Structure 1
Amino acid sequence: MIKRKDFYFKKAKKEGFLARSAYKLIELNGKYNLIRKNSDVLDIGCSPGGWVQVCLKLHARRVVGIDIEKAKIKDSRFEFVNEDVNEIDVAKLGKFDVVLSDISPKTKGFFDSEESADLSRKAWKIAVQVLKPKGNFLCKIFQGAEFDEFCRELRKYFYFFKISKPKASRKESREMYLIGKGFLGDTK
């Protein structure tokens, strides 16, 4: 991926955010009120920590971040779990009001939407196990062959479901964000 120093990149640096993606969460939370004061939040794929910073600014009680790369956050409300989403023992994490996932596959110039969908499904598998009843879920996924099926699957687990592309997403990007509010529990 080309690292352009666009408007949101410059804004993030100026305002002290670790990543331009912080503005995606700020916009989506502003529209959908996912993270409230005193929320317990799980951030899957949290590095470098832009979304964690947003959660902390929104006065989350606790933010747990999972990633294979260290997040650069120092705050007593933040706990970093240095593990792969494929290997994490979710039982030790506890329960959360909100589960976020902005995880992307490691790429070397070639992007695979199926690999992205696989990571989104793994994030969802974790969310089903740790979301509190009526909890909220926000997940990035790239449009591809599995997009519609994954959306249909998620929709049945939430009182409210929406697909959104924030303004901070690059226009040429195929990334979309799936928003689920009011987790109904594991319906299986």
Structure 2
Amino acid sequence: MTHKSISDKVKIKSKKKRTHSSRVWLERQLNDPFVRQAQVDGYRSRASYKMKEMAEKFKLFHGANVIVDLGAAPGGWLQVAKKIKPKSFIVGVDLQEYEDVPGTIKIIGDVTDAQTIDVLNAKLEGKKVDVVLSDMAAAACGIASVDHDRIMLLLEITLNFGLEHLNKGGHLVGKVLRGGTEDKLLKRLKLHFKNVKHFKPESSRKGSAEMYVVATEFKG
């Protein structure tokens, strides 16, 4: 991936209707090499490269026949999973509507709602899952402790789903914030998986507080 030099960076001229924050966001998007590369590669978001990096580093999809992505919109992780495992059974779930990823199953619903999980279970038809993915994050409120609690709740939901549905030897990936997973949840992960690591992909923005917990080899 080639990076543009500083002199090549795009600058957005100020307009009365454009706020400073929106201008900064737009400039960041236009100058982000992963955003540019996603357009070239046909990926829906730069998040695809996070998944690619983790999949390669931790061999997440090796032997994976059933993959579930919780919080799948806009579908970038699904695209990577489908490209690596074209014959696998892949399901994406999200509260937000998103464009279908060919060859995958889409469920629109809230993963915190039991009815959504019932629909997911019906689609799985009793199949055990080899990989559970989650890039879910609640809208940030700016209060660090509250944001942390919210994302820990989503990780706990992901873990609970994994404990119920994963095949022995399966893997789980979930988003956390800087500082990692709280002790109680980390102990649960280590109890049920042989390896638990925190990882920040290269494609994750340097100033971002996001990172991921990667739990591999579910003990069953």
TM-score (norm 2): 0.76
| Paired position in structure 2 for 1:105 | 138
Q: Any idea what the Cα deviations from partners look like across 1:30-88, whole Å, max 9, x if unmatched?
A: 1110013552100000000000000000024111011011232342x300111101112
| Paired position in structure 2 for 1:137 | 172
> What 5-or-longer segments of structure 1 have no aligned partner?
none
Letter in 2 for 1:114: D
> What 5-or-longer segments of structure 2 have no aligned partner?
1-20
Query: Which residue of 115, 129, 151 corresponds with 1:96?
Result: 129
Q: Is this contact kept in 2: 1:36–1:58, CA < 8 A? A: no
TM-score (norm 1): 0.88
Q: Is this contact kept in 2: 1:138–1:180, CA < 8 A? A: yes
| Paired position in structure 2 for 1:72 | 99
| Paired position in structure 1 for 2:70 | 44
| Paired position in structure 2 for 1:123 | 158
Q: Matches of 1:146 and 1:37 in 2, distance apart?
A: 27
| Paired position in structure 2 for 1:167 | 202
Q: How many residues align?
A: 184
SS in 1 for 2:203: coil
Query: Which residue of 49, 55, 62 corresponds with 2:89?
Result: 62
Q: CA deviation at 1:146?
A: 5.5
Q: Is this contact kept in 2: 1:66–1:85, CA < 8 A? A: yes
Higher strand share: 1
Of the structure 1 ranges 87-96 and 28-37, higher mean CA displacement relative to structure 2 is found in: 87-96
Q: Matches of 2:189 and 2:180 in 1, distance apart?
A: 16
Q: Matches of 2:199 and 2:71 in 1, distance apart?
A: 19
Letter in 2 for 1:44: L
Max radius of gyration: which structure? Answer: 2
Q: Matches of 1:63 and 1:32 in 2, distance apart?
A: 19
SS in 1 for 2:205: coil
Q: Matches of 1:184 and 1:138 in 2, distance apart?
A: 15
Q: CA RMSD in A?
A: 2.2
Q: CA deviation at 1:27?
A: 0.6
Q: CA deviation at 1:148?
A: 3.7
Higher helix share: 2
**Aligned-residue identity in percent:** 30
Q: Matches of 1:145 and 1:103 in 2, distance apart?
A: 15
Letter in 1 for 2:51: L
SS in 1 for 2:43: coil
SS in 2 for 1:64: strand
Which protein, 1 or 2, shows the higher relative CO under an 8 Å CA cutoff with sep ≥ 6?
A: 1
